[in-house]
Structure formats: structure tokens, C-alpha cells
Structure 1
Amino acid sequence: MAKLRRPRGSRILAPFLLLLGLTATHHANAFYNSTSALGTNTNEIMEDDASAPFIDLMKMSLPFREARPLTKGEVQYDRYGWPRSIAPGGQAGTRILNKLPAGTIPRGFYSVLYEGEGKLEYGNDASLVEHTPGRDVILIDPGTDNELSATLYIKATNPANHLRNIRILPQGGICASNPFQRVASAGQCQGDYWSFEQHSSKIIFNPDYLKYMRDFRVIRFMNMSGITRNPVYAWEDRASIDQSTWGGAEGIRGAPMEVMVELANRLHADPWFSLPHAASDDFIRRFADYVKVHLDPSLKVYVEYTNEAWNGIFNQHAYVKQQGQRLGLDPDPQQAAYKFYSQRSVEVFRIWEQLFGSNERLVRVMGGLVGSTQMSKTILSHNGAYRSTDAYAVAPYVYGDTNALRQARSVSDIFRIMTDPKYPHSLPNEIELIRKQADVTRSFGVDLIAYEGGQHLVDWNTKSNDQHPNNLFYQANRHPQMGVIYKRLLEGWRQAGGKLFVHYTSPRIYQKYGSFGAKEFITQPDGKAPKHQAMINFSRSNPCWWAGCSGNTLVRHTKPATTLEAMKTQSEPLDATAPQHEPVHGEPPPFPMGNTTPEQEFSGNAPVNPPPAAQRLLVSMRASPAERYVNGGNALINLRRNGADPWQGAAHYVLRTVAHGKIDGTQDLAALWQASWDQNNLYLRIGVEDNRFVANTPVPWNNDSVEVYLDADGSLNSQYDGRNDFHFIFDMANGKVALGKNSPPQERIAMNQRVIREGEGYVLEITLPWNAVGMSPRPGMRIGLDVHVNDNDGTPQRKGKLTWRAREDEAWRNPSLFGRVILGE
């Protein structure tokens, strides 16, 4: 084992802060990308991201509150996600690295800087070497498994001065004039040495990451920004520089806008921003204003409304379909979705144009499916949207056919399938699809570009990384022949009429979710990365060939005089063979992701004279409810649509967990809940079917009763905060509501409720004013909510309890067990 020196140096007292005025000086060799025809997508920020974009490992870690069982016991957090109190016996833990290939980051000593008082411990491949107040030195060493995994634990913290602003930084640094290379000491610089430990807030980015990214003309920030399944609406809910980490689950993770703009400036690369699907005009306006002020004025900006609005696996598709139908844009739900996407895209473009004062630097992008010119024509022609659009983006992926790939027995079989014309997404057929799309976009006077593309060897049905055909996929991606496939794809792209090609994606580990990374990890040698080699060779042999590519002036086409509506009748149907891929880290979400059609919703086709509310709700319990979960398990409750009926279009959520006692199947007890909201109230409805209605004790939770739990600010701490954490108990014996003992005083609460009895069931309807719980609602806001139903059946105490989210009967004193809910539009 090589000998490692322990670093010394003064600790940083200031918190992590972006200092835009102190960016590293651009060296001439930074602009490798000035004539590049290629771009790259970024990855999601996670602890297993093998592109390792940030020098501070903490910024890629798992949030403490998500890291159970590493985090356990009663933990409360500050506004930035740092644990501010930990009860005895508890701890707050996080993963800072997870199964990364050795060499992704340097093996060696790292400084852990922090503020506050408490006790830190380390695990897996991280071990403590030296401790002084405010600074630990740890050794990160991959060990014999040749993988990097590391954990950090806060075992105790002083609530009056809690541990916070933790940074985990390597030894060494950079020369400010060359941010693309690590150096060991000041002796390797000409007086401009910046150590990682002392200048992390200015350096920000991993030099290895910058070195990789500098070859690309465009950086698409879709994944890094965390917009996938993210219903963010208000500016106040955007990612913050001061958050403890920018990693985490969907809807939580995402780099701040300031960081993305700074990366584009350092690389002198045009940024491509994908804006959240539910973002307000105010959000869009403020985002555009920041970019205008802080982005290098010699750079263009690619502006796109959301990502893959056509793709049914994403809740942004459900959103645009819902909005298109609400506005009556087309009787066909899919066509309504495409038209709303087109319409909202133009609205977003116009906001950016207003803020920039013109559209000279703006590349206005709409996107669609490479195999459907029908979709392209609908999107571009709707209300003449093509006149406000500069580029139409598709995702040309080569793989052949999924069923054929499952029968492959060798790497040679894989390449044969990828190139055989009889398979719909073989290389020759994909190039033909590109040619058709180029003909369509040319007729509309817009460029054809690729928002993603490359190989697409993945089988979503596999359950493990080693299951066939995954190992063949990995071998194929490492094989020189894959470089040949890439060369032919890129050359075919150019010849068919395509322009900018943005590859999917940055270095990423090969696993059952796909082998999409151009490399397997950021420091992998070029000689072992045939896809990356092929792209760089193509870029240098084919400097960008279209007008305006290499400069900062956008060259636009002359638009045709007509909207070309007639073209839609000549087009082919939607390509059902196209991959609806979702490259993710970790298991796919266990719930449907917002793609429920209106026909599946129980109240979507209500008769003119509907039956009583109780009957409608209870009848729906016998069918499959339309649950709508977003961001990996958050229930979505929408804004009230109908002034007379707050439940119109509301999804159902079923209580499935027996958290106490015994429930003898759905014939004994079954329950579900619905909700909607407006600026004044939260509307909640719980339907219960109970084969025996009993109320025989003075204790409300021992009778047949309903408990509603609400954490109005969504903090989900492990203890009630005395402000906006509530436990309501509705006693069916007397129709009264009681407050759990940990709730705030009763005089603060004013609500209306009623119970409707029907057969062997009942419906409880609740109207709860927001001001009674001290909140002002907005779309995208997260709250904590849970619904429990107690069943008595004639026993002295309750016989059992059904819950929606809590897995144990401790929610009365532990709000962290509540479910998570997002307020939709």
C-alpha cells in the first residue's frame, strides 16, 4: 500500500457560498468545445453518481431524513436539513459514497470541516484518522472489493449549537488558471494555488468532471436540476445553495440554479435548461432573470418546457394531458396533451424573450418522440407554435428489439440485432426515422436536434444486475464494436439532417437500469471507453456544420407562411415500439406515477343526477381505486376544480396496513381517503365499510373512529412541534372531534365535519381552514398527512386499526411516520 500523507491546514469558518466573482480564470485550452457538434446530459445528483461533479462529497450525499435505517430514533432538522436535535439512543446517518468503482475519486485523506458541537463517526470505507474541534481527517480507501462506499453518522449534537455545514474535501487543490487538473501542492502552480480545503466554495467542481465536460458544446441540465417528477411551482421551493445536500429522492434532489449557471460559465458551454412542468410564470420569470444577469453573455441558452411530456411513465405527461383536457384543446386525450405542451412551451419562451429583451441568444426547444412525425406535426403546428420555436428535439436510440435481445447468447448476437434492418430500432431503421423527422422539421423552418441519444441496451423486466441479458449488455458497451455503432449513428445523424446531438449521458455505472454512461466512471481511461472515444473522434473530425453553431449568434430559418395543418393527416401512428426509458439509480418507484387516465377516476364520468356522496365513494371501494403517487410515493392532491363538488377528479388512496390488533380482511373493514384544496381550505373525505358499527367506550380511539394526522409544514420531525403538527380523532359514537394530547391547544382549531351513513359504511367529510393550522398553501407545497381507522366489533377496546402510511401505531407521538402529500394544480 502506498504511503499517504495527512493534510494540514486551517479550517473554513464561512458556510458553503457560491462566489461568482471569484471563478477560475479561463485558460485557452478550456474552449475545446468551440466547434463541437455534441452536447451531453448531466446525471442525477446522488451518492452513487460515478460522474462525481462536486469537490465537496457532502453535496452528493443522501439527505439525513431519507437515510433510514442509518438515521434512527427521534431526530429534528433545521430548515437546511441538518439534524438540530437527536434524542438519546438515536442517530442521524447518511451515505456519502455508494458502490462507486475504485478510482472514481482519489483514494486518500479527506478533511471533514464542520460548525457546531457534537460527535461524528464514519463507516464502510471511511475511517477517522485525526480529530480536532471543527475538523476531522478521514481516510477513504476502497479496500478489497474495489468499490467505494462510505457513511457518516452524527451520533450526538448540541441543540444550542448543532452540527452543520459539514464539508468533505480531498487533499490537494488546483492552479486557478487551470481548473481541469488536480495538483498536490502549491509548488505545482505559478502563485495561483487554491487548496480544496481553503477554497472549496470557489472551486465547487471536481477537476476530473470539468476535464470530461469541457469537450461538449452544450450541457443539458435536466437530470442535475432534478425536474423529473418534481411538481415544484413556487420560486420559494427551488433548490438552495445552503441545503445540506443536493442529492436525494426524486422531487427532493437537484442542483441550485446558481451552480448550473456557474458550470456553464466555467466550461464556456451553452446551458440547456428544462423547466419544471408545474412551475409558475413567476418561477419561470425569476429563473430567466437570473440567467440573463449571471450567464456569460457570449453563450446561447437552450430553453425547454419540462422533459418528455409525451412519456406516460412520468407525471409531467399526466399533467399536460390533464391541462389539455381541462382547456378543451382536443377531444383525444393524447392530442390534448401534445397541444397543451406546445402551448405552454410558447408561453415559457415568451417569458424568456421578455426578460432577455429579445430572442437573439435563445434557442427555443420543443421535444417529441423520434418515431412519430404525427406528434411532431401536432406540437409544431398547434396555434402556429413553430413560428416561436427554433429546434425540435428527439432521442435517437439504437438497440434493435427488446424481445430479440432477450434471446441473445453472445455479444456478437447483440451487435447483429442492433444492426439488422428487420428490427424496428436497429441502426439503419433509426437513421431512417431521423431522416423522416428532419424532413418534417425542415418544412416547419426549425432545426432537428437530439436531446438524448446513443445505445439503449436495457431490459426493464430484469430484477438483478446479473440477470440475463444484462451481462451481455455490459460487455457490448465495453466492446470496440460499440464505438463503431456510435460512429455510424453520428455520421448517419448528420447525413440525415440532424444538427446538435446531446448524448445520454455523463459517466455512469452500468447496471440493470442501463449502460447509458459514455464512461463507467469519471476517471476511466479513454482507451476503455469506446463510446466516449467515438464521440470525441467524431467531434474533431466533424466540426459543427450548421450556421451559427460555433458563435454566439443564433441563425434562424425562414418560417413557412402556413401552419401546415394538413400535414397531420398524412402521418403515421405513434411508434409503439419506442423505448419509454427511465435511467434511474435504485429501484423504480413502487407506485403508479401520475399516469391515471380520467376514465379510471371514479367521478370522471358522473351522471347528471349523481347518487349521494356516501354511495358514490363506497361503491368505488369495490373497484380498483385510481391512486396517483408522484416523486416515489408522495400522494398528489389537486386544486379544487368544481365549486360545488370538491371531490370531482380527486384520486383515491386506500388504507392497507394493519398497524394494531387484527382486521379480518376487507369484509371486516375497508377504507380509503380523498382530498382537494383551495386557498382557503383543505378538503378531506374518508370512506369506511365496516361489517359491524360499534361505539361502546368513552375513549374515542377504542370506538369505531377515524384519526387524521396533519403536519402542515411537511417537516415530519420525530416529535410534535407544538405549532402545526395535529392529531384529530373523530368519534363515530357522538360525531365529536378530539385532539390528540400532543397537538396544539384546541382553541386554535376551527373546522367543519359531517358523517353520512350508508348501509354498512359511512363517509366522513372534513373542511379544515388553512389559517387554522397556520399555513398559506401553494402548488408544489409538501405536507405530512395520514389517515387511520379504528375498528371495535363489540370488544372492550378496539380490535384493530387500518392505516394509510404509518407502519406502527406510534403516529400519535411521532410525525415522521405520517405519509407525504404534495399539493398539485
Structure 2
Amino acid sequence: MTKKNAFLLPLILGLMLLLFNACGAGSNPPAIDNPGNNNEVGDTTPDDDVANGDDGAADAHDPTPDAADINDDSPLAINLASVTYYSRQWTFLDQTKQGGGFAYAATNGPTDQSGWVLSGDVGLFLNTGLDGHYSPGRYIVLYEGEAEFFTRTTIWDADGSPMPNDATLNETLCVPGRLVLDVSPSNNGFVLSYRAIHATDPVKNMKIVHEDYEDTFEQEIFHPQFIEKIKRFNTLRFMDLMRTNGSTQRDWVDRPLTTDALQGTAKGVALEYLVALANKASANPWFNIPHLATDDYVARFATLVRDQLDPGLKVYVEYSNEVWNGGFEQYNYARNQGEAAGLGTGRDAADRFYCRRSVEIFDIFETVFAETGRQGLVRVIASQNSPWWAKRMMGWVDPQTGRLAIEQADYWAVAPYFCGNPPLDPGSVTALLDICEASIDDTLGSAEEIGDAARVHGVELIAYEGGQHIRNDSASAGAQEIYNLANDDPRMGELYTTYLDKWRNDVDGQLFALFSLVSGQSIYGRWGLLKAQDDSDYPKFQAAMAFIDDNPRWW
């Protein structure tokens, strides 16, 4: 499934008449420590001498270690959204981390190795497209260095239309190293700008936090409402947080770091933060290894996870995401690699290379985990929710090793979405929901057939994604509104209950990772269980919580 972002990065270039409030240059405040304490982010430079030896861990992949997680009985996992300047998922307390760049209505000069701009001017855009669903009041800006900070009275949307800035710099409360923004949330978001960057003391280590969290954000790291919303889920799938689709990470030096200026870039979120999040939520992490990652990258990744993750948590490992999907760059890569290795052509080549590389990654994780006796590795192979393609993958014997990939895995995973390809003219909300209801048996029937085939090999079925798939980019504005209203309707919650009940009772499936926690609505989809992180009453979210209550983990 090709998922596009609902908003495009608005780069407003050229000369404009600007109205703004300004605050004078600053100097260094008291030192700001790296995140730590009760979320232990840990060392960003694990040892270099990571072994890639033969598999010596017969028990390393045991998916059921002893653990007493507070959400251990939950049968549901959740896919988390990317960190972006327009994300409705408030991941971090430090708003700066949500940023994707410094070039809003600005011309940046060069940056340092962490991404802080050294010259030119800067514009950091945050919280746009949220319909005002972020905290109002005062935001504190802590920083080191010197520059002239200001807020523009007018900012511009992606089409160049003017709109008010949600933030105003409170000049009377500014002191060097600590600024105050007065923020009145709307759908516009806010932009913090600065210029006249000091040549030898440029701005760096900037943190933007709501005043309620000024004294705690370095220890808490993650927004408490975010933690509250994910606490019932057994497992957190990090595919989008890792920016897996089309990732360019190959070598370990390519990875994002906790010291990066921003976490909302194409690199995704630093692994140390992902581990800290799993520890904080007491939830199993589900990692998607970049498709270009070398063996050394994989081994270092596994080492960091082994050394920093709570030993009571399981570790789900999947090679990339939807490598079968021709809409993603990872499919092209796998197809090319498979054809070069003589594994077939087209889709067969991609699927077979995917199976081979998955097993290689599993072997590396097993070896690394065996060095300390770390258990709980959960090896996942995923396919399209198509019995024909899934069985073809299951039956392929790698001529290089003589092994079936499925027999090196703990789970086979599919994405059994319902209500895909809705009609261009749905007629009414009721009619569309009737179509959605009728589609549940079809998609779960395919999943059931795949699960039966997997169990022949001693492997159970899980869902790496799933939920409603009401998306048709070509539909009219009127149809799009019906798509939106169908997701808002209480009956959609009832359909989720039916869908998940059938997953358990008819498919005999196990862990189900819903897609996704929170998102807005657009022609590109209505994926979230929530439309806003501060709204718990949305029908899909309520249905998921009720399913957890009524269905303690049955496997």
C-alpha cells in the first residue's frame, strides 16, 4: 500500500514584505544535558568489534521470554506515525525534534555536523495542519549561541496563501538563551525565525517546550499524552518512525543520532529514542531494518538494542516494509538484487531476495543476542495478503542455503485491510459502510488461507498492518467527504469490532498491528485510530480499546 503524507513541505522562496516581532541576540544559557534518566537513551556509539559469526543461539529467537509487562495480555500492536512538523502524533515534548528543516521562508547557509545552521537565516515550521490540536499557552525556547530571533505576523500555506502565525515572541520576557512564545493554536501552526547568526557562536541545542514541561522535558522526553495513548498496545511497530520506505541508510554512520538538531527528517528517529520509547511504554519494539543496510549496520543495530532494551521485552525484526509492493523503492532494489543473483525475474526475484535477506538478518541478530544470552527475538516475514503470492514465497527453497525462509521465522505477517478501493460515487455514508462490512469476509478469507499454509510449517499468522482502507485519490470532493464521515461514524467502530473478532475466531490469527495511531483526513487516507491525540472518544480507537478489554491475548 502506497501511503502519502497529507501535507507537503511548504518552501516559500523569494523576497516578501514581512511583519515580525523581534528579540535580541542571546548567549549561552546553563548547559542542556542529553536526554536520560528514567528513559535511559544510552550511548550512541556501541563497540566497533561486533561479531558477525555463525549462528550460535539456539534459544535467541525464543519469542516468549519471562516478562511481566503491564500490557502483556493485549492482543493488539500499533503502527506509529512519522515525526514531522505536521504530525498529529505528539511524540516528543521538545517541539524542535518534530521539525523537518530550517528553511521555511529562509535561506540557510552551511550547517554543522548535527544540522544546526551556521549562517544565513532560519525558519522552523511546527504544528501545521493539526486543526489547533496542540497545547495553547506559553512555549519556552532554550538555546545556546547568538542570533536575532523573531516571529512573523504572517506565514503562508503550501499554496502561498497568507495566514496568521500561531506564535508571537513575547519580547518583555526574553532573556539571552531563553525566549518565550505566546501561542494560540489553529490549523496554521507556528514559525520561529532567526537571522544574524553569530559567526563564532552560532545557535545550537535549541529546545522548544511548553512551559508546563520546562523542568521535566529532559527526563520525560516523550509527551505524556502520547504515552497514555499507546500504553494499552502490546507492541509498537516503528516502520514510519524509522522512515523505512525508501530509506537511504546503508552504513552505520548514515543513521540518525540523538544529537541531531531535528528528528523529523528523512532519516527518521534515532534508534536510541526508539529503544527508550519501548522501555518507557513497556511495549515490545518492532523494527524495520533499512533495505540497503549492510551486515555491519545490522550487527551494530542488534547490539544497541540488545544492550539498551529492557531484557523482559521481545524484539520483533522485519526486513524493510512491503518489499513486495512495486510502489516502494525497496521493491526495485530487491528485484534488481534478485535478478542479479539469478533468483528469477520481476516479482519472483524481489520476493526471493527478500526471503534470503530476511534470513541473513535474522542470523545476525541471533548471533549478536547469543553473545549475552539475550532472548526474545521474534523473526517476521511479511507478504501481500494474497494466498497465491504468499504460498509461492513459502515454498521457495534458497539454493544458496537449502533452507525455506518461512522455517527460519517465528511469524508470517500480512496486512488484511478492508474496504480498499472504495467507489468513486459511494452514494451515502450508510451505503459506503455497507460496502466496507461486506469486504471484511473477503480480506480475512485470504488471510485465513495464508495462515493455514503457514501453520503447515509450524509458523503462526500475525498482521503487520490493518484496518479500514478507504482511499480513492480520484474521487470528487463530495465523495472524499463521505469517506471522511464514514470513518467518523460510530458504525465504523462496530465494523472494527467485527473485523477483529473475525481475525481471532475465523482466521485464528495472533498479534494484530493496526495502522495507525493518529492522523488527519485527506485524499491520501484516513489511517488513524484517532484524528487528534487529545481525543479519546473516536470510534475506531474506542473499538480497539474495547477489544483489548474483552480479548486478553489468546495465544
Flag whether TM exceeds 0.5 (same fold). yes
Distance 2:94 2:467 in 1: 31
Equivalent positions of 1:135-174 (< 5 A) are 135-142=178-185, 146-172=186-212
Distance 1:20 1:237, change over 3 A: farther
Distance 2:522 2:366 in 1: 42
Distance 1:47 1:159 in 2: 28
Output one character per residue of 1:472-510: Cα deviation in whole Å (capped at 9) or x when no partner.
Answer: 111011101001110011011111111000000011111
How many Å apart are 1:105 and its aligned residue? 2.3
TM-score by length of 1: 0.57
The number of residue pairs the alignment matches comes to 480
The equivalent residue for 2:71 is 33
Distance 1:13 1:258 in 2: 25
Aligned amino acid, residue 321 of structure 1? R
The equivalent residue for 1:75 is 109
How many Å apart are 1:379 and its aligned residue? 4.4
> Does residue 152 of structure 2 align to residue 112 of structure 1?
no
Q: Residues 140 and 180 of structure 2 are in contact (CA less than 8 Å); yes or no, is this contact kept in structure 1?
A: yes
How many Å apart are 1:471 and its aligned residue? 0.7
> Does residue 261 of structure 2 align to residue 231 of structure 1?
no
The equivalent residue for 1:47 is 85
Equivalent positions of 1:214-225 (< 5 A) are 214-225=231-242
The equivalent residue for 1:13 is 30
Q: Which has the higher contact order (CA 8 A, sep 6+)?
A: 2
> Does residue 294 of structure 2 align to residue 280 of structure 1?
yes
Output one character per residue of 1:557-607: Cα deviation in whole Å (capped at 9) or x when no partner.
Answer: xxxxxxxxxxxxxxxxxxxxxxxxxxxxxxxxxxxxxxxxxxxxxxxxxxx
Q: Residues 387 and 449 of structure 2 are in contact (CA less than 8 Å); yes or no, is this contact kept in structure 1?
A: no
The equivalent residue for 1:97 is 127
The equivalent residue for 1:458 is 471
Distance 1:523 1:32, change over 3 A: farther
Distance 1:400 1:511, change over 3 A: closer
Distance 1:437 1:96 in 2: 43
> Does residue 410 of structure 2 align to residue 390 of structure 1?
yes
How many Å apart are 1:34 and its aligned residue? 2.1
Q: Residues 381 and 406 of structure 2 are in contact (CA less than 8 Å); yes or no, is this contact kept in structure 1?
A: no
Q: Residues 63 and 94 of structure 1 are in contact (CA less than 8 Å); yes or no, is this contact kept in structure 2?
A: yes
Q: Residues 406 and 457 of structure 2 are in contact (CA less than 8 Å); yes or no, is this contact kept in structure 1?
A: yes
Distance 2:31 2:224 in 1: 22
Distance 1:492 1:13 in 2: 57
5+ unaligned residues in a row in structure 1: which ranges?
1-10, 25-29, 173-195, 421-425, 547-825
Q: 1:343 aligns with which of 347, 353, 356?
A: 356
Output one character per residue of 1:439-478: Cα deviation in whole Å (capped at 9) or x when no partner.
Answer: 111112111000000000011235xxx7232111110111
Aligned amino acid, residue 265 of structure 1? N
Q: 1:474 aligns with which of 469, 480, 484?
A: 484
Q: Residues 31 and 267 of structure 1 are in contact (CA less than 8 Å); yes or no, is this contact kept in structure 2?
A: no
The equivalent residue for 2:215 is 198
How many Å apart are 1:139 and its aligned residue? 1.1
Give the secondary structure class of the aligned counterpart of 1:283. Answer: helix
5+ unaligned residues in a row in structure 2: which ranges?
1-27, 42-67, 153-164, 399-403
Q: Residues 420 and 468 of structure 2 are in contact (CA less than 8 Å); yes or no, is this contact kept in structure 1?
A: no
Give the secondary structure class of the aligned counterpart of 2:130. Answer: strand
Give the secondary structure class of the aligned counterpart of 1:469. Answer: helix
Distance 1:368 1:98, change over 3 A: same
Distance 1:434 1:379 in 2: 14
Distance 1:253 1:231, change over 3 A: closer
Give the secondary structure class of the aligned counterpart of 2:236. Answer: strand
Q: Residues 41 and 502 of structure 1 are in contact (CA less than 8 Å); yes or no, is this contact kept in structure 2?
A: yes
How many Å apart are 1:200 and its aligned residue? 2.1
How many Å apart are 1:375 and its aligned residue? 2.9
Aligned amino acid, residue 511 of structure 2? L
Equivalent positions of 1:700-719 (< 5 A) are none
Q: Residues 341 and 379 of structure 1 are in contact (CA less than 8 Å); yes or no, is this contact kept in structure 2?
A: no
> Does residue 417 of structure 2 align to residue 406 of structure 1?
no
Equivalent positions of 1:490-529 (< 5 A) are 490-495=500-505, 496-524=507-535, 526-527=536-537, 529=538
Distance 1:395 1:542, change over 3 A: same
Give the secondary structure class of the aligned counterpart of 1:77. Answer: coil
Q: 1:318 aligns with which of 327, 332, 350?
A: 332
How many Å apart are 1:399 and its aligned residue? 0.6
Distance 2:130 2:486 in 1: 21
Distance 2:282 2:446 in 1: 32
Q: Residues 71 and 94 of structure 1 are in contact (CA less than 8 Å); yes or no, is this contact kept in structure 2?
A: no
How many Å apart are 1:168 and its aligned residue? 0.5
TM-score by length of 2: 0.83
Distance 1:432 1:22, change over 3 A: closer
Q: Which has the larger radius of gyration?
A: 1
The equivalent residue for 2:442 is 429
Output one character per residue of 1:334-376: Cα deviation in whole Å (capped at 9) or x when no partner.
Answer: 1111110000000000000000006841110010111234334
Aligned amino acid, residue 490 of structure 1? L
Output one character per residue of 1:304-331: Cα deviation in whole Å (capped at 9) or x when no partner.
Answer: 111000001100000000000000012x
Aligned amino acid, residue 327 of structure 1? A
Q: Residues 276 and 306 of structure 1 are in contact (CA less than 8 Å); yes or no, is this contact kept in structure 2?
A: yes
How many Å apart are 1:23 and its aligned residue? 5.2
> Does residue 304 of structure 2 align to residue 290 of structure 1?
yes
Distance 1:39 1:380 in 2: 28
Give the secondary structure class of the aligned counterpart of 1:98. Answer: coil
How many Å apart are 1:165 and its aligned residue? 1.0
Q: Residues 399 and 455 of structure 1 are in contact (CA less than 8 Å); yes or no, is this contact kept in structure 2?
A: yes
How many Å apart are 1:71 and its aligned residue? 1.6
Superposed CA RMSD: 1.9
How many Å apart are 1:12 and its aligned residue? 6.4
The equivalent residue for 1:587 is none
Distance 2:188 2:315 in 1: 36
Aligned amino acid, residue 243 of structure 1? D
The equivalent residue for 1:125 is 166
> Does residue 541 of structure 2 align to residue 545 of structure 1?
no
Distance 1:253 1:283 in 2: 15
Q: 1:370 aligns with which of 380, 385, 408?
A: 385
- Once structures 1 and 2 are overlaid, which stretch shifts more, 13-22 or 501-510? 13-22
Q: 1:532 aligns with which of 519, 535, 541?
A: 541
Aligned amino acid, residue 167 of structure 2? A
Distance 1:504 1:400, change over 3 A: closer
Distance 1:231 1:61 in 2: 19
Give the secondary structure class of the aligned counterpart of 1:117. Answer: coil
The equivalent residue for 2:58 is none
Give the secondary structure class of the aligned counterpart of 1:366. Answer: strand
Distance 1:42 1:400, change over 3 A: closer
Aligned amino acid, residue 528 of structure 2? G
Q: Residues 306 and 374 of structure 2 are in contact (CA less than 8 Å); yes or no, is this contact kept in structure 1?
A: no
Q: Residues 250 and 294 of structure 2 are in contact (CA less than 8 Å); yes or no, is this contact kept in structure 1?
A: yes
Equivalent positions of 1:631-780 (< 5 A) are none
Aligned amino acid, residue 361 of structure 1? G
Give the secondary structure class of the aligned counterpart of 1:303. Answer: strand
Distance 2:335 2:237 in 1: 25
How many Å apart are 1:53 and its aligned residue? 0.6
Give the secondary structure class of the aligned counterpart of 2:125. Answer: strand
Output one character per residue of 1:607-661: Cα deviation in whole Å (capped at 9) or x when no partner.
Answer: xxxxxxxxxxxxxxxxxxxxxxxxxxxxxxxxxxxxxxxxxxxxxxxxxxxxxxx
Aligned amino acid, residue 204 of structure 2? R
Aligned amino acid, residue 397 of structure 2? H
Q: Residues 329 and 340 of structure 1 are in contact (CA less than 8 Å); yes or no, is this contact kept in structure 2?
A: yes
How many Å apart are 1:262 and its aligned residue? 0.3
The equivalent residue for 1:269 is 283
